Amino acid sequence: NAGVMQNPRHLVRRRGQEARLRCSPMKGHSHVYWYRQLPEEGLKFMVYLQKENIIDESGMPKERFSAEFPKEGPSILRIQQVVRGDSAAYFCASSQWQPSTGELFFGEGSRLTVL
Amino acid sequence: GQQVMQIPQYQHVQEGEDFTTYCNSSTTLSNIQWYKQRPGGHPVFLIQLVKSGEVKKQKRLTFQFGEAKKNSSLHITATQTTDVGTYFCAGDYGGSQGNLIFGKGTKLSVKP
């Protein structure tokens, strides 16, 4: 049973370009979460999605960031017009139910570097 | 807002020494989870604590949840080099959002 799959693992972008990060949850999981981690920092919640719905986006910056989890295909975290401060590791996690009833399974992360 | 404080930020120990990391919330938690992240890796679930005063053990690891469900601790007895990594607590405040609030983590280094 494949775990949470994230790609790309590493992404380099120049300022002003767009970054698209993809996440395929574990089989049977319908809850997807995106977290951002700066070097030597903790995990900061960004957004929680279920299929075709954004449940909680309270951690998402108001501009340039968007996320979706379509009926078919992976969840996408999109960052438009990237800036140096967007450089971070972006982790996707999935769960079968809400985390209050079980663990989050994390992917390997996508490490974004903005030049 | 909801915030989970974790201390210490760093801990350096000699192999064989014990290690403890503490987590504290200003408001009552529904439950708390602990994760370990190896250097360059991703967080891996260790345990979930739900009940007030709960204590759970996993070999050399002991997890506690406070009576008021506002604090938690992870204690490792006789550390080994394989324990190296960052340990995160993650608090769930309940509600419909279902997202976890992570502490900043305690980075453990073990000197052989």
* Chain center to CA of B44: 12
- What's the first-to-final CA gap in chain A, in angstroms? 36
Interval A69-81 mean pLDDT = 95
pLDDT for A74:
95
Tell me the per-residue pLDDT of B51-79, one tens digit each, with 9 for 90 and over. 999 999 999 999 999 999 999 999 999 99
For a pLDDT cut of 90, what percent of chain B falls above it?
A: 87
pLDDT for B95:
66
- The residue to which tokens 């020494």 are assigned: B17
Interval A102-111 mean pLDDT = 92
Judge residue A43's burial from the number of C-beta atoms within 10 Å of its C-beta, 0-12 exposed, 13-18 middle, 19 or more buried.
buried
Q: C-alpha angle B28/B8/B83, rounded to 5°?
A: 105
Q: Tokens for A75, please give them.
A: 């969840």
Contacts of A42 in chain B (CB under 8 A): 6, 88, 102-105
Integer Cα distance of B48 and B33 in angstroms: 4
Contacts of B100 in chain A (CB under 8 A): 33, 45, 99, 104
CA distance B34 to chain A (A): 9
- pLDDT greater than 80 at residue B106: yes
Least confident residue range of A6-10, A93-97, B37-41, B47-51: A93-97
Interval B26-55 mean pLDDT = 94
In a mutagenesis test of the B interface, which of A103, A105, A108 is the best target, namely the one with the most B β-carbons within 10 Å?
A103
Closest chain B residue to A58, measured at CA: B97
CB A11 within 8 A of CB A113: yes
Q: From the list B31, B42, B44, which residue is nearest A100 (CB)?
A: B31
Q: Tokens for B39, please give them.
A: 């250097």
> Which is higher by pLDDT, A31 or B2?
A31
Q: Tokens for B70, please give them.
A: 């506002």
Size of interface A-B (CB pairs under 8 A): 67
Beta bridge partners of B75: B20, B62
Q: Tokens for B3, please give them.
A: 């915030």
Integer Cα distance of B88 and B41 in angstroms: 13
CA distance B46 to chain A (A): 9
pLDDT for B37:
96
pLDDT for B73:
98
DSSP B60: T
CB B100 within 8 A of CB A99: yes
CB A17 within 8 A of CB A76: no
Interval B81-87 mean pLDDT = 97
Across chain B, mean pLDDT equals 93
- pLDDT greater than 60 at residue B96: no
One-letter amino acid of B67 = E
Tell me the per-residue pLDDT of A14-71, one tens digit each, with 9 for 90 and over. 999 999 999 999 998 989 999 999 987 889 999 999 988 999 898 999 999 999 999 9
Instruction: For the beta carbon of residue B87, count every other beta carbon within 10 angstroms.
Output: 24
- pLDDT greater than 80 at residue A12: yes
